[in-house]
Chains A and B, each alone.
Chain A
Amino acid sequence: MAIFLQQLINGIAQGGMYALIALGYTMVYGIVELINFAHGDVFTLGSFLCIAILALLGVSASGQIIAGWQGALIALLVVVLAALLCGVIGVLIERFAYRRLRNAPRLAPLITAIGVSFLLQGVMRNWKGPSEISFPQFLPNPTFAFGGVHIDLRELLVVIVSILMMVALQFFIYNTKLGKAMRASAQDRDAASLMGINVNTTIAWTFFIGSALAGVAGFISGMYFGTTMFTNGYQAGLKAFTAAVLGGIGNIAGAMLGGFLIGIVEAMTAQYISDQWTNVVVFSILVLILVLRPSGLLGEQLPEKV
């Protein structure tokens, strides 16, 4: 039982990260019907940017611990800067790679997105090299024990941050003017534009927010695993996309639910089957959901237009 609970906590922590990345996929798909293939790489770029910002602040991978409010302040500064930078990069990608193709045949922007993904991987590959790089672990990491179950600060951080972000996003989408513009544009882009919504700006903000969340995920992933690598975004992105599809693509609550479920499934597969098979299990879920229930758990089943 303790093992099960421990794995559940690991799964939730991992799932929180997937959920944060999945939000970007689901928001973008909801509004422009594009599987933004490069999104996973924006997430990895977030980790890389955090490392660079930490280096500028004089924090390196030497293992120095910065406790108290100083550590918290640095963490906050790093995560905010990385989120902003990722957000801007997301907007630039949309502006220069996707916007031109908004009315092109459906597969054209998808192929472009794969290209952007490779481009970002290439940039990171040449920036920090081909192997794993370490992420400075500058925060203290006390462990809290409940019965036989251990939760350390990093796991707690991942879960708290991801839930906070989701609540904030949900509030934003339903209670602000921009959020409403996003929902309107997702429903019907042409009608939204006739109602005076600037669709280009709305789409740009969607990319900004999605990419910024990926940046946040990049930070907490670095803190959680302690390493990153230029190709990480591909698999993490694919799993997050699986989460978005599982929850119902275009559905924000669904992305969160899907993220946590995928994280838990992964942890349980590793514990009770074998960690060799986690990817096979997760990608089989992706295939099964798309084939059997493409609207996902929370999505609406839409009839096909003739």
Chain B
Amino acid sequence: MDARVRLPLGLGEVAVWQALGLLAIVALFALYPVIDRNIGHVSAVADAGYFLLLVFGLNIVVGFAGLLDLGYAAFFAIGAYTYAMVASTQFNLHLNFWPMLIGSACVAALFGVILGFPTLRLRGDYLAIVTLGFGEIVPQVFLNLDKYTGGPNGISNVDQPVFFGHAFGFNPVPYYYLYLVVALISLVLLNNLRRSRLGRAWMAIREDELAATHMGVNPVTTKLLAFAMGASFAGLAGCIYAAKLTLISPDEFNFSVSVTILSAIVLGGMGSLLGAFIGGLLLALLNFMVLPQVTNWTHALGTALHNEAIQNADLHYIIYGLILVLVMLFRPEGLISNASRRAELHHGQPATSAAAAGVE
């Protein structure tokens, strides 16, 4: 069966069975709220949407351009606060959701450039720590500027979107479809970008910055574009997140959010768009469906056994920690990856001695 189908939107050619599989997956996602009538489930899967957008954005920065950003949650916060401040009772501004969707992305992208600029000359691990510092500073600033941001209480009564007269309200289904549409568009755009002039420039910077600049890649604009585009996804996610939840507070955007997103990318395979997608879906599933369920069970078990420790057990930290450690140790290329990359990452050395002499 070697008939091949050319997918639309520049997604390339695949075998027929792969195309059918893809169609089935898209159909499953499109019909999910019809199949599963449990509103709680739909809400959880919808939340996977913002998670996935964050994974896509961070994957540009970490996966494509090789810049380890540990403060990515800051841009999520900036996106959420941008929308919440202009579309709530906070200042009694009630700007429309749809233009603000783009507006939040732009504000986050702007901050991506501002915070990215000082890091341009830094080596990998120093860049990681500087971004981590930004990740600490930004939520703290939101916390402290309580005149504008509501301080520790955050901003409540955030406006919900209205689509041609249909108010979204608290029904998760429209949010689900909004996330689905945004995620699908993002996937197509990112796939195009990855195989473009800019995508190759990002990867060249990731592989060897010095060589890349000698081949004509401008390191400043290339890196800033990675920070800006990465941040814009977080801005989008933050905007929808704030609208769906209708309230936000500074402690939702801490370091563990950044680490959770990073785990998804590491699990899926750094640099691979498909990997980011699958890693993101798996961890979103874990985060929004499996772990809450496990917490319910352990709580019930602890109550039955009158054991407080089991009752209060919490596996989030342990599981994310284990994912990072085990994947890096035993499958550093992630779930989705190429065989050659696997060989290098496992042995820390190029496969052939000839290559060893050449690739530093």
Contact = CB atoms under 8 A, between A and B. Distances in A.
Q: How large is the interface on B (under 10, 10 to 19, 20 to 34, 35 or more residues)?
A: 35 or more
A163 B211 CA distance: 47
Interface string A26-38: 0000000101000
Contact of B318 (A33, A114, A119): A119
Contacts of A101: 328-329, 348
Contacts of A290: 122, 126, 129-130, 133
Interface in A85-111: 97, 100-111
A97 B125 CA distance: 18
A219 interface: no
A290 B128 CA distance: 11
Nearest to A129: B312
B64 interface: no
A111 B328 contact: yes
A183 B316 CA distance: 39
Nearest to A241: B129
B312 A130 contact: yes
Given A121-B317, A126-B313, A107 B348 contact: no
A107 B124 CA distance: 7
Contacts of A108: 328, 332, 345
A280 B140 contact: yes
A284 interface: yes
B303 to A, nearest CB: 16
Nearest to A121: B317
Contacts of B121: 291
Contact of A115 (B118, B143, B309, B322): B322
B125 A119 contact: no
Contact of B348 (A35, A104, A294): A104
B134 interface: yes
Given A111-B266, A290-B130, A103 B141 contact: no
A201 interface: no
B312 A118 contact: no
A126 to B, nearest CB: 6
Interface in B318-333: 318-326, 328-329, 332
Given A35-B125, A106-B124, A121 B144 contact: no
B255 interface: yes
Interface string A204-230: 000000000000000000000000000
A277 B144 contact: yes
B242 interface: no
A265 to B, nearest CB: 15
Nearest to A291: B118
Interface in B299-351: 308-309, 312-326, 328-329, 332, 345, 348-349
Given A101-B328, A126-B314, A286-B129, A114 B137 contact: no
Contacts of A114: 70, 259, 262, 324
B321 A117 contact: yes
Nearest to B298: A126
A110 B322 CA distance: 14
A108 B329 CA distance: 9
Contact of A283 (B118, B136, B312, B317): B136
A115 B125 contact: no
Nearest to B144: A276
B275 to A, nearest CB: 15
Given A35-B128, A118-B320, A129-B312, 6 more contacts: A107-B124, A119-B321, A122-B315, A125-B317, A234-B255, A276-B143
22 contacts: A33-B125, A97-B329, A102-B348, A107-B66, A107-B128, A110-B124, A112-B325, A115-B321, A115-B322, A116-B325, A118-B321, A119-B321, A119-B325, A122-B319, A129-B309, A283-B136, A284-B137, A287-B137, A290-B126, A291-B118, A294-B122, A294-B126
Shortest Cβ-Cβ A-B pairs, 9 listed: A115-B324, A122-B317, A119-B321, A118-B321, A122-B318, A103-B348, A115-B325, A283-B133, A112-B328
